[in-house]
Chain A
Amino acid sequence: AQSVSQHNHHVILSEAASLELGCNYSYGGTVNLFWYVQYPGQHLQLLLKYFSGDPLVKGIKGFEAEFIKSKFSFNLRKPSVQWSDTAEYFCAVRAGNMLTFGGGTRLMVKP
């Protein structure tokens, strides 16, 4: 069975700082990769996804992620965070019909 690891449980940044959230997965076959975001009091929303092609994918709100197959990684990045990016971020890997989530990273951006 696949597993997904997010290395940072809590991240605190000041506005305008750069963000990188790590995500590694363990699965040898073809996968689809996702990042979801959950803003306080809201439900999970899709931030970006990778299926094939260019390993650098761009999502909403200035986020991007890079798929590095050799490292089984799909790290999320944003050059300059805003206070409104305060949320919990989940990496997910889909193999077949099942989507497996990482443990989540809580990001707090100080104004």
Chain B
Amino acid sequence: DVKVTQSSRYLVKRTGEKVFLECVQDMDHENMFWYRQDPGLGLRLIYFSYDVKMKEKGDIPEGYSVSREKKERFSLILESASTNQTSMYLCASSLSQIPSNYGYTFGSGTRLTVV
């Protein structure tokens, strides 16, 4: 089974700090994604990447950046954390565009609190 591992389950950071959220997948998936999950809003796409060093903005990229230096690792960066970025962050990966794709595989999430 594909595993998507997020390095931290819980994080508490101060306003203004630079925050790194790490995600690693072990099945050579080309596509990786960062979502945030908030009550009543579902999952909203922040950024995604379909290849090494490639990145695309999702629906809510403001205040975030990403890095994909290696195929298996996709990092989400909060340049200057703010309290409205307190959320659950989910990483996901998927195979490339083939009909038999089974959707995404999600990591277990990182609950970030910015104080």
Contacts and interface: CB of A to CB of B under 8 A. Distances in A.
Interface of A: 1, 4, 6, 9, 32, 34, 36, 42-46, 49, 51-52, 90, 92, 94, 96-104
Given A43-B106, A49-B102, A97-B31, A9 B90 contact: no
Contact of A43 (B45, B97, B107): B107
Given A43-B106, A43-B107, A51-B99, A97 B48 contact: yes
B106 A44 contact: yes
B45 A100 contact: yes
Contact of A104 (B35, B40, B100, B106): B40
Given A43-B109, A97-B31, A102 B42 contact: yes
Contact of B103 (A4, A43, A94, A96): A94
Contact of A46 (B42, B97, B103, B109): B103
Contacts of B103: 32, 34, 36, 46, 49, 92, 94, 99
Nearest to B106: A44
A43 B108 contact: yes
* Max count, chain A CB within 10 A of own CB: residue among B42, B48, B59, B90: B42
B102 A97 contact: no
B104 interface: yes
B101 interface: yes
Interface of B: 31, 33, 35, 40-45, 48, 50, 58-59, 90, 92, 94, 97, 99-104, 106-109
Nearest to A103: B42
Nearest to B35: A101
Contacts of A46: 102-103
A99 B102 CA distance: 12
B50 A97 contact: yes
Given A44-B90, A99-B104, A102-B42, 20 more contacts: A43-B90, A43-B107, A46-B103, A51-B99, A51-B100, A52-B99, A90-B43, A92-B103, A94-B101, A94-B103, A97-B31, A97-B50, A97-B97, A99-B92, A99-B103, A101-B35, A101-B43, A103-B41, A104-B42, A104-B43
